[in-house]
Structure 1
Amino acid sequence: MRQTPLISARMLAHVRRGVLAFFGVPLLVAIALTLVDSYRRRNKKPKPFPVTAPTTVEVGRGTVTTYTFGQDLYDDMLAAIRGAKKQILFETYIWKNDSVGEEFKLALTEAAERGVDVHIIYDAFANLVVSPRFKRFSPRLKVLRFPVYNAGLRFYDLRRYGRDHRKILVVDDSVAFVGGYNIGTPYATEWRDTHCRITGPGVWDLKRAFADFWNLHRRKRFRASERPLLLETASQWEPAIRVHRNVPRLWMFPIRAMYIEAITRATDRIWMTHAYFIPDEDFVDAVNDAARRGVDVRLLVPRKSNHIVADWISRGYYGQMLEAGVKIHWFSDAMVHAKTATIDGNWSTVGTANIDRLSMTGNYEINVEVIDPAMARKMESIFETDLTNSEPVTKSDWDRRNIYRRFTELVLAPLRHVL
């Protein structure tokens, strides 16, 4: 009996070593891959890729314009900001202090100086490397810096650890922009992303989304006595457009449910484009089941993204997906950062949420769901254009991958449950 504490201590030591090995080895491999990839990218010039010109379709009582080239999007966003008369709501994840970032900052500042009510939200963690000088704003601007650490003394509360990954611009209740584009010079010409511009009643839903986030987090930045933003919204609804928001603080994650419902209802085709595809098992099962029942399931992902570890983890699902009949395509020579899907020529979504655990059950995200054939045709046209710059991943080629690749996928597999 006297040896029991010693035995327990030894067992605990073995458990600790096992846990460290289970997660420590994958982390070391991930760090090594990241360093090697960073070295290889040095002085590497970006290559051109096919894009689709901005196209507007009528949806319900408004319009939706899609963008696949950053400079086109930035031109229209800046035009809206410069033409604002009453209010601008601007929210972004990354806001670089380069020429594009400075142009946006100047336009927002000039709008405030001419009397426009300007509210800005940006994520502090995503902009840690941005110059502190850039993050000093005119007092005329109302700026909410979403903090790096938001839990305070409630370190145990998982609801307070999500990042603000959303990208929204609403101007004068008349026009709104939402999608995957951050703000910065590389995104203007070097990245393939998707954003959309909305007019009509759908604008109010995006305004409400911004206001709800502002009101939920404003107390740490502004006086409690300050009036909350947007107490009322228009009573009109646009049945063809729905805005879905992941709100970890309220434990709300509807975007994953939106995707799975649409996938399980698909009868003809599912075409998805994602920067990072690291789904949970239920999501993979839904996609594979659709392919097995004859649905044309296609997934477009970057051949090499800006996060090489995400690429390797994602590839751990390729075998079973290809076996089920899912067609996987690698986008070549550029980073595709879009988060979109279109199903059965009627349903589409554009937004900020990746198919990974950080987006599906962790971060603040926003996606627009559009049920409209004209919008679906536009999204299918964009997908087909992207396919001209992609390489298919065949089952036979995948089965012949070398031992190094198989070993890396195996070692990194535990990180699927984290990222």
Structure 2
Amino acid sequence: MNVAVEHIATDQPPDDAKARDLDYGWQPGNRIELLENGEAYFPAVFEAMRRAQREILLETFILFEDKVGNELQGILIEAAQRGVKVIVSLDGFGCGELSPAFLSELAEAGVTVQMFDPAAKIVGIRTNWFRRLHRKIVVVDAAVAFIGGINFSADHLGDFGPEAKQDYAVQVSGPAVADLHHFALAQSGRQVRTRRGWRRRQQRPSLWPTHTDDGLVRLIYRDNLQHRDDIEEAYIHALSKAQKRVVIANAYFFPGYRLLREIRNAARRGVQVQLIMQGQPDVLLAKLAARMLYDYLLKDGVVIHEYCQRPLHGKVALVDDDWSTVGSSNLDPLSLSLNLEANVLIRDRAFNQQLYESLETLARNHCRTMPEKRKPRLWLWRLTVGFLVFHVMRHFPALTGWLPAHKPRLKPFESHTHEH
């Protein structure tokens, strides 16, 4: 039996173009729960899916055929068979090793499976390296949403061994779920009904809300169209407001100069700034790139920790006592200039404190701290090289946009078939 798996090419706009351009504002009255690692995330998201009555929307960068992926497949098949609308959007690079049988079993059960920018291997090597669908979002019945950095793979569980990843996600209940649902539905290419509450705003909502009630959540995202810098700008704005403390834990840290300058400036004005980086990286280049920036930051009082227990995969940060962000975006050229990413901004004191305590435990018990006074080792040269590399990568989307492989297309993708 031939089963079509839909193919979404890079930066394909949804049918409702206005929805793609929509900015999402701060939503009050939400309940936010921190989910640390797969041990907390998978039970929560799987239970929500098992209870689904109408709809499951799922986007992920990686889905493996391991114990986590197989359990997810079974839950989605069972949901589709009982009449739940299930739409699964997978990245063509991150999910490039999925077997045709695995995908066909989903599609045959009624799951709508979409592949973002798939590409055939050349001499056994995948070629679709750039502009990835890197988001990790699940929305169930437009009532509960999950967003963060955790993929559907067993390497997010501690029993995976020394290579198990340290990571974070959040579960959101409340008014902000409507924004996440609307966004996920629009990005899946589905027609989104435009209501008065979804009108395009004439002016982007503030990155820093005027009121400071707890439970505030705002969805932000980046694409290669109208929202290229939204996540980066949110970090810069929050850092410029910092008065007491900043903690950033990020797997791949190689930001541009503007963000680096705000980190340095916060430390210079007396803010306690801590960065938690990878000490046991899954990609050695990430560690080498981050270390190019150490001297520049250390000399102004930034405290840098390297997490050494296992690979750090988190993408979280907090500022002062009530601002936090959790999502899929690293602070490197791929996430800030190429990938499709999504974070939530959170203004909530209890959540901020919970995240702070988790990161402080990490820094205190499982990290080595870089010495405050290191012998300068050509830091100006390394910063200059880093600046040039970052900005070459920053303009790369414009160059890749000329290539035929990156022209917008939405068409059936027939390669994944399964014969009975």
The TM-score range, normalised by the shorter chain, is 0.7 to 0.9
Partner Cα separation in structure 2 for residue 412 and residue 344 of structure 1:
29
**Cα distance 1:411–1:270, how it changes in 2: closer, same or farther (>3 A)?**
closer
Residue 195 of structure 1 aligns to a residue in which SS? strand
Greater relative contact order (Cα < 8 A, sep 6+): 2
Q: For residue 167 of structure 1, report the CA deviation from its aligned partner.
A: 0.3
Match of 2:23 in 1: none
1:343 aligns with 2:311: no
The within-5 A match list for 1:286-297 is: 286-297=262-273
Partner Cα separation in structure 1 for residue 230 and residue 386 of structure 2:
28
Partner Cα separation in structure 1 for residue 40 and residue 322 of structure 2:
26
Write the letter of the residue equivalent to 2:319: I
Write the letter of the residue equivalent to 1:188: L
Write the letter of the residue equivalent to 2:238: A
Q: For residue 412 of structure 1, report the CA deviation from its aligned partner.
A: 8.1
Match of 2:72 in 1: 104
Deviations 1:334-377 (A, max 9, x none): 01111111101110000000001111121110010011212211
Residues 313 and 413 in structure 1, CA contact (< 8 A), matched pair in contact too: no
Q: For residue 174 of structure 1, report the CA deviation from its aligned partner.
A: 1.2
Deviations 1:151-170 (A, max 9, x none): xxxxxxxxx96211000010
> What is the TM-score of this pair, normalised by structure 1?
0.75
Partner Cα separation in structure 2 for residue 98 and residue 233 of structure 1:
41
Q: How many residue pairs align between the two structures?
A: 337
Match of 1:197 in 2: 171
Q: List structure 1 runs of 4+ shifted beyond 4 angstroms.
A: 232-239, 405-419
**Match for residue 62 of structure 2 among 78, 94, 103:** 94
Instruction: Write 1 or 2 for the structure with the bigger share of helix.
Output: 1
**Cα distance 1:119–1:305, how it changes in 2: closer, same or farther (>3 A)?**
same
1:168 aligns with 2:137: yes
Q: For residue 316 of structure 1, report the CA deviation from its aligned partner.
A: 0.6
The CA RMSD measured in Å over matched residues stands at: 2.8
Q: For residue 393 of structure 1, report the CA deviation from its aligned partner.
A: 0.5
Match of 2:351 in 1: 375
Residues 312 and 412 in structure 1, CA contact (< 8 A), matched pair in contact too: no
1:312 aligns with 2:282: no
1:178 aligns with 2:140: no
The within-5 A match list for 1:107-186 is: 107-136=75-104, 137-139=106-108, 140-148=110-118, 162-186=131-155
Write the letter of the residue equivalent to 1:62: N
Partner Cα separation in structure 2 for residue 298 and residue 335 of structure 1:
18
Q: For residue 99 of structure 1, report the CA deviation from its aligned partner.
A: 1.3
Partner Cα separation in structure 1 for residue 333 and residue 285 of structure 2:
14
Unmatched segments (≥5 aa) in structure 1: 1-58, 150-159, 216-227
Match of 1:299 in 2: 275
Residues 204 and 234 in structure 1, CA contact (< 8 A), matched pair in contact too: no
Q: For residue 413 of structure 1, report the CA deviation from its aligned partner.
A: 8.0
Deviations 1:47-106 (A, max 9, x none): xxxxxxxxxxxx942311101121221011111111100110011000011111011011
1:384 aligns with 2:352: no
Partner Cα separation in structure 1 for residue 135 and residue 196 of structure 2:
23
Residue 280 of structure 2 aligns to a residue in which SS? coil
Partner Cα separation in structure 2 for residue 239 and residue 380 of structure 1:
17
Q: For residue 242 of structure 1, report the CA deviation from its aligned partner.
A: 0.4
**Cα distance 1:334–1:408, how it changes in 2: closer, same or farther (>3 A)?**
farther
Match of 1:324 in 2: 300
Deviations 1:88-127 (A, max 9, x none): 0011000011111011011011100000011110001112
Residues 145 and 171 in structure 2, CA contact (< 8 A), matched pair in contact too: yes
The within-5 A match list for 1:154-303 is: 162-189=131-158, 190-215=164-189, 228-232=190-194, 235=197, 240-303=216-279
> What is the TM-score of this pair, normalised by structure 2?
0.74
Partner Cα separation in structure 1 for residue 383 and residue 70 of structure 2:
41
Unmatched segments (≥5 aa) in structure 2: 1-26, 120-128, 159-163, 199-204, 206-213, 394-420
Q: For residue 148 of structure 1, report the CA deviation from its aligned partner.
A: 3.2
Residue 188 of structure 2 aligns to a residue in which SS? helix
Write the letter of the residue equivalent to 2:328: T
**Match for residue 30 of structure 2 among 28, 45, 62:** 62
Partner Cα separation in structure 1 for residue 229 and residue 82 of structure 2:
39
Larger Rg computed on CA atoms: 1
Residues 81 and 111 in structure 1, CA contact (< 8 A), matched pair in contact too: yes
Aligned-residue sequence identity (percent) comes to 30
1:395 aligns with 2:395: no
Partner Cα separation in structure 2 for residue 251 and residue 206 of structure 1:
16
Partner Cα separation in structure 1 for residue 221 and residue 227 of structure 2:
11
